[in-house]
Amino acid sequence: MFNRRSFLAASAAWTLAGCSVQTASPPPPARVEPVMLVPKSPEIFPIEAVDLTRIDRKFWRQIVPDPTGEPAGTIVVDPDACFLWLVMEGGEAMRYGVGVGRDGFGWDGTATIARKAEWPTWTPPREMIAREPELIEWAKGMPGGPENPLGARALYLYQNGHDTLYRIHGTNEAWSIGRSVSSGCIRLLNAEVIDLYDRVPRGSRVVVRPSRGGAVA
């Protein structure tokens, strides 16, 4: 017999059942496994592994169809796209993501890699010291190491036999890849500049395209 007590018990069960549906927790978000970039061999100074999942995938090193039309062995930099291509045989190129010079600090033209250095010394130009007087400490050069702004490798760009003062170099600031942040130089992740350094000899031709101001500041 369905009496008042049975009705109340049934109502309570229905209410609890309804609440359990309405307050169900959403499933946890899918966990993205890190993709770690590390140097291919030990270095004299430590290089921190970089979680590439924190960088837009288009800036990961990859082989792509060559968009430059330049001879194999040429380096081409597009500062607006924040890409550096090393032209390869067979119509392909190795593409790297880079950070580039912010407005007013860029350089463009054709140059030659006249010098290469591992864990290079960094000497700020007089103009930079004038803007940032605290850099006077390094007027005679900062030794190579993890805190050095040139990172693990540097390729020195010369034009008509003269140093342009612009470099292709390493950085441990992963956030700067794909952005316009530097004082004109082209920066790659340390593990990436090591890879590029090993691929290009002295005398290699470098083409830096003019900027139209398209890079993210």
Please give the pLDDT value at position 101.
Answer: 80
Token readout for 108 is 């463009």
Residue with tokens 């950085």: 171
Residue 76 makes CB contacts below 8 A (sequence gap 6+) with 68, 70, 84, 85, 87, 93, 206, 207, 209
What are 97-130's pLDDT values in tens digits? Answer: 999 987 545 788 999 999 999 999 999 888 889 9
- Tell whether the model's pLDDT for residue 28 goes beyond 60: no
Q: Which residue among 19, 82, 162, 185 is the active-site one? A: 185
- Tell whether the model's pLDDT for residue 191 goes beyond 50: yes
Mean pLDDT of the chain: 85
- Tell whether the model's pLDDT for residue 20 goes beyond 80: no
Structure pTM? 0.82
Q: Which residue has the higher pLDDT, 204 or 180?
A: 204
Residue 209 makes CB contacts below 8 A (sequence gap 6+) with 76, 77, 78, 79, 80, 108
Annotated active-site residue 169? The verdict is yes
Mean pLDDT in residue range 54-82: 96
Mean pLDDT in residue range 141-164: 95
Q: Beta strand 153-159 with 109-118: parallel, antiparallel or unpaired?
A: antiparallel
Please give the pLDDT value at position 22.
Answer: 41
Annotated active-site residue 82? The verdict is no
Instruction: Report residue 4's pLDDT band, with 50, 70 and 90 as the boundaries.
Output: very low
Q: Which residue has the higher pLDDT, 67 or 21?
A: 67
